[in-house]
A and B are shown apart, each in its own frame.
Chain A
Amino acid sequence: MRKWTLMLAPIGILIAGLMVLYLKAHPTIGAVRPELFLGLSYFPWLAAAILIAFFVQGVLIHRGMDHLIFPTVLLLASVGIVEIARLKPALLAPQLRWLCIAMVALLVVLRLDSCIKRALDYPYLLGIACVGLLGLPLLFGTEIGGSRNWLVLGPMSIQPSEFGKILIVLFLAAYLSDHRRVLTLPSRRILFLRLPPVRFIAPLICIWSMAVLMFVVERDLGSALLFFGIAVIMTYMATGSRSYAFIAIVFIAAAAAISYTAFGHVRVRFDIWLDPWQDPNGQAYQVVQSLFAFAAGGVWGTGFGFGHPGFIPEVHTDFIFSAIAEEMGLIAALMIMACYIMIFWRALQITLACSREREMLLGAGISVLNLMQAFIIIAGVTKFLPLTGITLPFVSYGGSSMLSGFILLGMLLSLSKEQKHG
């Protein structure tokens, strides 16, 4: 029974939040009638999402997989959905639909877990697929919101980088586990650095370069930072070599310095971070408004539906954390962050219980990826780090982001089944 009660929190938030919004929109007494309720355009999707969620939890419990992570992820998703419904009511139904699709994708991943594990046998194929996927926007990309990282396919627009991150984690896990011993073999010393032959670190250099390329050409600073960070951390996890970390930091510092001098948009981001009050109504408008949102929220928040997060452009995607902090306060902000930490901690437990190196690396990669993405965007909207546009996993509006998040989650949960059997 305890395995099921966890589902109460996300479903409760979802229903209570939507009820509040419904009552706010229909303040007259007597407006709450069942038939009106059933007539809501999002109602079918809401019902479907709840049913699928229970089904997924049922599958997880039945198969003896981890049953704590999924409700926690769902909790984040329900907070996101409720806030999206308050910010952009028109996007509520699409977001619920994406949640349904993502949960179905999760089930598919759980079903195909053996295929995915087999894919780990072909690291170079994964690497090439990843490069290919990330390269697509360069050829066919469309610029949306200042980043040229979108592919428009008919009525849908997808962000290949969201799916690229799945491939990159798979690639790194496969490649690093195959070459762990070679990579840690000190065959050459340059100054105080101990480096293996160039041909072994070439793929890593390749990934790093790709990240920088995205940084510069696609203007997708968030994804670039994420890819680069995950590559560095997974390399360290696999090899334990500080030389790699050092090289990576030198590499990114050099790349950042070059792009700062050479590219205007990078310079603008950095200058905004250093001093947003230089141009608070122009370039730094978004960040300044976000800071005002945090200040307005204070500890307890203004109350759900009573803040003014609408002052922040793009508040429902990248800046949703600011909206949550404004309306639900520091309390909610810290709870959201605690959710990411709990997911991370639980994912690490799954990872450490794995028996095979590549699965261990895969699990660690997914755990770090999730936490790092949350870190990058939360740090961005609070001006802790320069702002880089990226979604808050499971919370922000966006199909690609939701889908890739749940696919990664599926892969992680598959690993939790592993620990029972072996």
Chain B
Amino acid sequence: MADRKLRKQILQAASACMALFGVLALYIVYLTTWAAEDLSSNPLNMRSAAARADIWRGTIYDASGTVLAETADDGTRRYPFGKMMAAVTGYNGENIGSTGVEGHANRALLGLTDDMQRMGPLAQLLQTGRGNDVRLTVDANAQKAAYEGLAGRRGAVVVLDAETGAVLAMVSTPAYDPNDIETNWKVLSKQADGALLNRCVQGLYPPGSTIKPMIADAALTEGATDEKEVFDCTGTLDVGGGHTIGESHGEVHGKVTLRDAVTESCNVTFGTLGMRLGDAKLKKAYERFGFAEGIGEDIVMEQSHLPDFGKLSNGDQAQVAIGQGTLLVTPMHMALLADAFANGGRIMKPYLVQQVVSPNGMVVSETQPSVWRTATSPEMAAIIDSYMERVVEKGTGRAAHVFGVRVTGKTGTAENPAGADHAWFIGSADLPKRKIVFAVLVENGGGGGTEAAPIARRIIESLA
């Protein structure tokens, strides 16, 4: 029957159509699942960037609520302190990525959490149009004092809360201005050790005499000397092989105890101790104080460059004990060394982000202070701390003295192949509100006692 034939033909054609439609559906399944990852990561795909641009990036505050970085109404990022805070805030640019807190706290500032991406539309329930605010540990006044103290010289300042490890100031100069970094990017990115380098955590310098408190600790701990031994400083130390180590400015300290040697920064005494300790014990000391390790998370600190322990000559051992030779450290690490003696032997883990606060004021996360490592015993720390106090009272660090405040310290004047000596000052100050530790470095600045210690004094006064 014709009718039946027609029906059959209609059904045949219809089945073909539906089969084609089914193939198309399978193709779409493929497209949205298997092919999706490649397409999403395609550099031409602007969608993830657009999704981030949609979110109102949160504000960065200092410890007292001063704005350090905020998003303006036109969507641009403003940094009221500019260069002064650059080492803390870092920058955030569409084409140049982000560093500093902008980089570390990027996801918090955007209000993203880790497992949101896999949640599809449900993620929108958790996603707000405004990212979280970040409250830092930084004190804008201390930061200002440090930045102004450097007065345009190249250098770095790190100030920490001795008991918590909270970063109170972190300055690196020369600095870039995060407000217009994107336009200056080409010039900045070509400078080998320029403004983009955060000297506090990435700059490696010989520590010079600021390492002596640690050597004193090692010598006492290892029994290489005791507090009563008297060293005879003749101004030079023969380290064998025809080499000698001298005192700066040709000084002669005469008969000194370990305490006097720290106060006067006596190279002869510490060179002698370095040779007495030898490779293994020196290495042990450096490891005990964490110089073989870096730090991650919000403070990305490089590990130090340690000498090739095990192959050192007597001269090298003496050099390592006075912070010279191939030993290179970061200013942050020197502040942590100061913390070991100011905080009863325990080095606190440094951190910058105190709180992440949601737009409606809820605290999303709060950083709890933690001990990075126990470097030495409380008794030993107290001895070295008293030595360092005497440095500021009577020794090379008198320029850091602040009336009515107990300040400890150690100066350093580090020889280096780049030019004039680096001026160092590390130490602590017992302020009414809190105890702080600090490390000040002025690149090629000259004497630590005359160039770096006054900056420390300025910072202490700003926080007092």
Q: Is B363 an interface residue (CB 8 A)?
A: no
Among B5, B13, B47, B124, which residue has its beta carbon within 8 angstroms of that of A292?
A: B47
Closest to B41 in A: A295
- Chain B min CB distance to A303 (Å): 3
- Chain B min CB distance to A167 (Å): 21
B-chain residues with CB within 8 Å of residue A371 when the two chains form the complex: 17-18, 21
How far, in angstroms, from A301 to B123 measured CA to CA in the complex? 11
Among A308, A325, A382, which residue has its beta carbon within 8 angstroms of that of B27?
A: A382
B-chain residues with CB within 8 Å of residue A344 when the two chains form the complex: 14, 17-18
How far, in angstroms, from A301 to B46 measured CA to CA in the complex? 17
Q: Is B96 an interface residue (CB 8 A)?
A: no
**How large, as a class, is the contact surface on chain B?**
35 or more
Q: Is B184 an interface residue (CB 8 A)?
A: no
B121 touches A304 (CB 8 A): yes
B24 touches A337 (CB 8 A): yes
How far, in angstroms, from A367 to B36 measured CA to CA in the complex? 33
B5 touches A240 (CB 8 A): yes
How far, in angstroms, from A122 to B209 measured CA to CA in the complex? 108
A237 touches B13 (CB 8 A): yes
Interface residues of A in 233-251 (CB under 8 A from B): 233, 236-240
A299 touches B32 (CB 8 A): yes
Given known contacts A240-B5, A298-B120, A302-B121, A308 and B51 CB-to-CB distance under 8 angstroms: yes
A-chain residues with CB within 8 Å of residue B10 when the two chains form the complex: 237, 348, 351-352, 360, 364
B-chain residues with CB within 8 Å of residue A296 when the two chains form the complex: 36, 40, 45, 47
Q: Is A306 an interface residue (CB 8 A)?
A: yes
Interface residues of A in 343-389 (CB under 8 A from B): 344, 348, 351-352, 357, 360-361, 364, 367-368, 371-372, 374-375, 378-379, 382, 384
Closest to A363 in B: B10
B47 touches A333 (CB 8 A): no
How far, in angstroms, from A330 to B121 measured CA to CA in the complex? 12
B-chain residues with CB within 8 Å of residue A181 when the two chains form the complex: 2
Main secondary structure of the interface of B (DSSP, over half): helix
A299 touches B44 (CB 8 A): no
Q: Is A291 an interface residue (CB 8 A)?
A: yes
A288 touches B33 (CB 8 A): no
The 8 A CB mask of B25-44 against A (1 = contact, 0 = none) is 10111011101111110101
B-chain residues with CB within 8 Å of residue A292 when the two chains form the complex: 39-40, 42, 44-45, 47
A288 touches B44 (CB 8 A): yes
Closest to A301 in B: B121
The 8 A CB mask of B3-20 against A (1 = contact, 0 = none) is 101111111111001101
B21 touches A357 (CB 8 A): no
Q: Is B418 an interface residue (CB 8 A)?
A: no
- Chain B min CB distance to A181 (Å): 8
Q: Is B50 an interface residue (CB 8 A)?
A: yes
Closest to B124 in A: A303
B-chain residues with CB within 8 Å of residue A340 when the two chains form the complex: 21
B51 touches A372 (CB 8 A): no
The 8 A CB mask of A330-346 against B (1 = contact, 0 = none) is 10011001001100100
Interface residues of A in 281-333 (CB under 8 A from B): 281, 288, 291-304, 306-308, 311, 325, 328-330, 333
The 8 A CB mask of B50-76 against A (1 = contact, 0 = none) is 110000000000000000000000000
B21 touches A341 (CB 8 A): yes
- Chain B min CB distance to A422 (Å): 13
A360 touches B32 (CB 8 A): no
Given known contacts A348-B14, A372-B17, A295 and B39 CB-to-CB distance under 8 angstroms: yes
A-chain residues with CB within 8 Å of residue B29 when the two chains form the complex: 330, 334
How far, in angstroms, from A363 to B121 measured CA to CA in the complex? 40
B44 touches A295 (CB 8 A): no
Given known contacts A292-B47, A294-B36, A311-B47, A329 and B6 CB-to-CB distance under 8 angstroms: no
A300 touches B120 (CB 8 A): yes
Closest to B32 in A: A330
B-chain residues with CB within 8 Å of residue A233 when the two chains form the complex: 13, 17
Given known contacts A308-B51, A337-B25, A357 and B44 CB-to-CB distance under 8 angstroms: no
A-chain residues with CB within 8 Å of residue B8 when the two chains form the complex: 240
A-chain residues with CB within 8 Å of residue B33 when the two chains form the complex: 298-299, 330
How far, in angstroms, from A379 to B24 measured CA to CA in the complex? 7
- Chain B min CB distance to A81 (Å): 20
Interface residues of B in 117-151 (CB under 8 A from A): 119-124, 127
How far, in angstroms, from A352 to B119 measured CA to CA in the complex? 45
The 8 A CB mask of A251-290 against B (1 = contact, 0 = none) is 0000000000000000000000000000011000000100
B-chain residues with CB within 8 Å of residue A308 when the two chains form the complex: 46-47, 50-51
How far, in angstroms, from A351 to B40 measured CA to CA in the complex? 44
Closest to A236 in B: B13
B32 touches A237 (CB 8 A): no
Closest to A291 in B: B39
How far, in angstroms, from A354 to B272 measured CA to CA in the complex? 112
B28 touches A333 (CB 8 A): yes
Given known contacts A325-B28, A330-B33, A348-B10, A337 and B21 CB-to-CB distance under 8 angstroms: yes
Interface of B toward A, CB cutoff 8 Å: 2-3, 5-14, 17-18, 20-21, 24-25, 27-29, 31-33, 35-40, 42, 44-47, 50-51, 119-124, 127
Given contacts A328-B121, A334-B28, 9 further A-B contacts (CB under 8 A): A236-B9, A237-B9, A293-B47, A296-B47, A303-B120, A306-B121, A367-B14, A368-B14, A379-B24
Q: List 9 A-B contacts (CB under 8 A).
A: A181-B2, A240-B5, A292-B42, A306-B124, A306-B127, A330-B33, A334-B29, A364-B10, A372-B17
